[in-house]
């Protein structure tokens, strides 16, 4: 799978993604990450890529020309008009489901904005999707692009060592993952749950499923609506939610 990132900070992308699991996936040729420096497409003698906004206002706006030319070069390299994802807090919020859909593509282009924004005309001409990583504002689109590329990469076959782990993890079924334990069996008096030492696979499976339900009801009850539960599980969750103190969040110190 090929990721092409249009950015003014190519080192940030290559250094960030060149590390750890994504770095290894790049070395193995499972994913390919290319940072396209938008500045390389400036035709200005000082290599400017931004200018003041028409109509006035604070900050600078990224000009359409360099971005359009960078996109043209990419489209030619890829051999077709690619899917271009613009990183913006105005986009739909990126989810595991969107990551799964995007992982089916051969090539993805990420457009990272900076300053006060990007000239609207070039966005109209080249962008196919607008995505955000959450309702907060960052200084640029590089970190969001890295977040998305990391998330999509681990869905590419071979990137994770254990193929099953991407299937049975948080969000895969709108449920959070069950708690995990490893050696030692007793850590400062805290024991690993007995069932996990039993070797009884059906019981372990049932315990983990129940833990997922409990954890989701406690931490992310909003996810349960979209989860695929049996009638018995739904009743269990309902009963749990009734039992959870209304002030559960207060107890965890989320409130001032």
Q: Distance between CA 28 and CA 26 in Å, rounded?
A: 5
- Which residues of this protein are in contact with ligand ADE, per CB under 6 A? 87-89, 132-134, 136-138, 141, 144
Nearer to ligand ADE, 114 or 154 (CB): 114
Nearer to ligand ADE, 114 or 237 (CB): 114
217 half-sphere exposure, CB direction, 13 A CA radius: 21
Nearer to ligand ADE, 115 or 168 (CB): 115
Q: Is the link from the previous residue into 136 a cis peptide, with omega within 30 of 0?
A: no
Minimum separation from the CB atom of position 141 to ligand ADE (A)? 5
3-state SS assignment for residue 256 = coil
| 41's tokens | 């497409």
Q: Is the link from the previous residue into 130 a cis peptide, with omega within 30 of 0?
A: no
Minimum separation from the CB atom of position 38 to ligand ADE (A)? 15
Nearer to ligand ADE, 146 or 213 (CB): 146
Minimum separation from the CB atom of position 3 to ligand ADE (A)? 16
Minimum separation from the CB atom of position 136 to ligand ADE (A)? 5
| 247's tokens | 């002030």
Smallest Cα–Cα separation from 139: which of 157, 117, 124, 155? 117
């Amino acid at each position: 799978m090929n990721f092409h990132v249009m950015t003014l900070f190519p080192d940030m992308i290559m250094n960030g993604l060149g590390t750890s699991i994504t770095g290894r996936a790049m070395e193995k040729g499972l994913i390919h990450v290319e940072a396209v420096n938008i500045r390389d497409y400036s035709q200005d003698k000082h290599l400017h890529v931004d200018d003041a906004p028409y109509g006035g206002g604070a900050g600078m706006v990224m000009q359409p020309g360099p971005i359009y030319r960078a996109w043209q070069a990419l489209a030619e390299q890829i051999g077709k008009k690619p899917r271009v994802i613009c990183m913006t807090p105005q986009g739909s919020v990126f989810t595991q489901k969107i990551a799964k859909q995007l992982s089916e593509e051969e090539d993805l282009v990420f457009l990272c904005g900076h300053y006060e924004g990007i000239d609207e005309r070039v966005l109209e001409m080249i962008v196919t999707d607008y995505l955000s990583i959450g309702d907060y504002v960052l200084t640029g689109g590089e970190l969001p692009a890295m977040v998305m590329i990391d998330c999509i990469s681990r869905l590419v076959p071979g990137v994770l060592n254990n193929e099953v782990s991407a299937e049975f993890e948080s969000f895969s079924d709108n449920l959070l993952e069950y708690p995990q334990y490893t050696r030692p069996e007793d850590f400062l008096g805290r024991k690993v749950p007995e069932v996990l030492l039993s070797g009884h696979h059906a019981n372990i499976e049932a315990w983990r499923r129940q833990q997922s339900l409990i954890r989701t009801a406690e931490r992310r009850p909003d996810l349960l609506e979209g989860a695929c539960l049996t009638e018995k599980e739904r009743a269990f969750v309902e009963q749990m939610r009734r039992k959870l103190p209304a002030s559960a969040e207060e107890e965890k110190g989320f409130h001032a």
